[in-house]
Amino acid sequence: MTDIRTLGEFIVEKQNDFPHASGELSSLLGSIKLAAKIVNREINKAGLADITGSVGKENVQGEEQQKLDLYANDKFKAALEARDQVCGIASEEEDQAVSFNRQVNRDAKYVVLMDPLDGSSNIDVNVSVGTIFSIYRRISPVGSPATDADFLQPGHLQVAAGYVIYGSSTMLVYTTGNGVHGFTYDPSLGVFCLSHENMQIPEDGHIYSINEGNYIRFPLGIKKYLKYCQECVPQDNRPYTSRYIGSLVADFHRNLLKGGIYLYPSTATYPNGKLRLLYECNPMALLIEQAGGRATDGQQRILDLIPTELHQRVPFLVGSTNMVNKVEAFLHEGD
Ligand code: AHG
Ligand code: MN
Ligand code: MN
Ligand code: MN
């Protein structure tokens, strides 16, 4: 009993490691923790309540919005607005960035970007979904409304990032730039308990995760890499195992624990890939680098990309260092 460490305790304990040490970030992560519990409760009864299915509208990126997309968006937004640390948010489900109106929010130092419900297509079939978040210090003056520039910062300037996975158990995994730590939710206590301290991804892996249905539309380097994964070379652990859930959070989480690579390259349908730089790729890239892995768009480190628009998409290759190096080599063949 005495060695249970809750997320709240852990954050306070680690707050002095944080470069801008203050209770503010602890309080901000507290808002995320609270919203995650509320969303978790709703997801757990998804089959019982009338909360699955679409709302009959599309988001600004042309995706059909699910009821739980909007529910999660509202809960995270409300939790972040209710405390005094965040001046605004940007979300996959909001057309534009939202600047909070209260003066206490305008006086706040941080902005949050989020994918409130990742893996929407998996809600109705009881498969793991998640929430992804990314936190920056604002660059506009404290006291004024948040501006677009606050949200369009390169990923290496994130002060914290993380995700919640609503899976066979619910976990919150985060980094403030000092390692990656995972907490498992104990529903009977209503607390997240430290279960995975200092997570590190194996340098080599043998799982590859990609929507192979798009094969015909992939760049040649990706096609060659997939064939490499499938070749029979037992001393090299090949053929690798293919695993694809279709929720980035769940695919990423498995690969983080076991070693592997997740790929969402450009395709003919999605020339810039499908995943969003600000809500999906940057936070996952910070986590993977903190865990000893790599994230690239095939040409550049994800965390170095300079965002130009809120809902920007980029090709995304993320995971074990040696696997990312290998796929890059195939992409650069013939350069
Ligand atoms: P979201 O549900 O937040 O829109 O994200 C969906 C993303 C990601 O979670 C997943 O890995 C990917 O879309 C799956 O895309 P495909 O169905 O094209 O494979
Ligand atoms: Mn979506
Ligand atoms: Mn998503
Ligand atoms: Mn989403």
Cα(120) to centroid(ligand 4), Å: 6
* Co-location of 279 and 156 in the same domain: no
Ligand nearest to the backbone CA of 247:
1
- Measured over the CA atoms of residue 107, residue 113, residue 117 and residue 121, the dihedral's sign is positive
d(CA 174, CA 17): 14
Does 75 contact ligand 1 (Cβ within 6 A)? no
Phi, psi of 60 (to 5 degrees): -65, -15
Q: How many CB atoms lie within 10 A of CB 34?
A: 17
Per-residue model confidence (pLDDT) at position 52:
78
Statement: residue 181 has pLDDT above 60 = yes
pTM, two decimals, is 0.97
Does 127 contact ligand 1 (Cβ within 6 A)? no
Domain boundary among 162, 177, 198: 198
* Nearest to 286, CA basis, from 205, 199, 176: 176
Can you tell me the mean pLDDT for 302-327?
98
Mean pLDDT, the chain, integer: 94
Q: What is the largest CA-CA distance in the chain?
A: 63
In the chain, % of residues over pLDDT 90: 83
Residue with tokens 């390259």: 265
The answer to whether 143 touches 106, Cβ cutoff 8 Å, is yes
Cα(270) to centroid(ligand 2), Å: 14
Summarize pLDDT for 314-325 with one digit per residue, the tens.
999 999 999 999
Can you tell me the mean pLDDT for 151-171?
97
Q: What residue numbers bound the domain in which 163 lies?
A: 7-198
Per-residue model confidence (pLDDT) at position 13:
86
Ligand nearest to the backbone CA of 123:
1
* Co-location of 143 and 247 in the same domain: no
Per-residue model confidence (pLDDT) at position 124:
86
d(CA 110, CA 104): 12
Cα(61) to centroid(ligand 4), Å: 11
Summarize pLDDT for 226-277 with one digit per residue, the tens.
999 999 999 999 999 999 999 999 999 999 999 999 999 999 888 999 999 9
Summarize pLDDT for 215-226 with one digit per residue, the tens.
999 999 999 999
User: 241 by DSSP, 3-state: which?
Assistant: strand
* Co-location of 224 and 193 in the same domain: no
- Under the banding of pLDDT at 50, 70 and 90, the label for residue 2 is low
* Nearest to 123, CA basis, from 46, 48, 50, 71: 46
Ligand nearest to the backbone CA of 59:
2
Binding site: residue ranges? 92, 115, 117-121, 211, 244, 262-264, 274, 280
Does 247 contact ligand 1 (Cβ within 6 A)? yes
Ligand nearest to the backbone CA of 280:
3
Binding site for substrate: residue ranges? 118-121, 211, 244, 262-264, 274
- Under the banding of pLDDT at 50, 70 and 90, the label for residue 14 is confident
* Nearest to 125, CA basis, from 46, 211, 59: 46
Ligand 1 nearest-atom number relative to CA 118? 3
Instruction: For a ligand 1 pocket test, name from 211, 249, 261 the mutation site with the most ligand atoms within 8 angstroms of its C-beta.
Output: 211
* Co-location of 142 and 272 in the same domain: no
The residue type found at 253 is H
* Co-location of 259 and 149 in the same domain: no
In a domain, 98, yes or no: yes
- Under the banding of pLDDT at 50, 70 and 90, the label for residue 23 is confident
Per-residue model confidence (pLDDT) at position 17:
66
In a domain, 179, yes or no: yes
User: 312 by DSSP, 3-state: which?
Assistant: coil
Does 209 contact ligand 1 (Cβ within 6 A)? no
In a domain, 302, yes or no: yes
Cα(34) to centroid(ligand 1), Å: 25
Domain boundary among 156, 172, 198: 198
Statement: residue 19 has pLDDT above 80 = no
* Co-location of 220 and 185 in the same domain: no
Cα(73) to centroid(ligand 2), Å: 11
Statement: residue 51 has pLDDT above 60 = yes
Summarize pLDDT for 270-301 with one digit per residue, the tens.
899 999 999 999 999 999 999 999 999 999 99
In a domain, 150, yes or no: yes
- Under the banding of pLDDT at 50, 70 and 90, the label for residue 21 is low
Q: How many CB atoms lie within 10 A of CB 335?
A: 5
The answer to whether 260 touches 320, Cβ cutoff 8 Å, is yes
Instruction: For a ligand 1 pocket test, name from 248, 261, 263, 266 the mutation site with the most ligand atoms within 8 angstroms of its C-beta.
Output: 248
Tell me, what CATH number does 234's domain have? Answer: 3.40.190.80
In a domain, 229, yes or no: yes
* Co-location of 151 and 93 in the same domain: yes
Q: How many CB atoms lie within 10 A of CB 157?
A: 12
Statement: residue 1 has pLDDT above 60 = no
Can you tell me the mean pLDDT for 92-121?
97
Ligand 1 nearest-atom number relative to CA 251? 11
Summarize pLDDT for 71-100 with one digit per residue, the tens.
999 999 999 999 999 999 999 999 999 999
- Under the banding of pLDDT at 50, 70 and 90, the label for residue 63 is confident
Domain boundary among 198, 233, 250: 198
Enumerate the β-bridge partners of residue 133: 114, 162
Does 274 contact ligand 1 (Cβ within 6 A)? yes
The count of domains in the chain is: 2
Per-residue model confidence (pLDDT) at position 6:
95
Ligand 1 nearest-atom number relative to CA 120? 2
Can you tell me the mean pLDDT for 7-26?
78
Does 255 contact ligand 1 (Cβ within 6 A)? no
Cα(103) to centroid(ligand 3), Å: 31
Tell me, what CATH number does 144's domain have? Answer: 3.30.540.10
Can you tell me the mean pLDDT for 36-44?
94
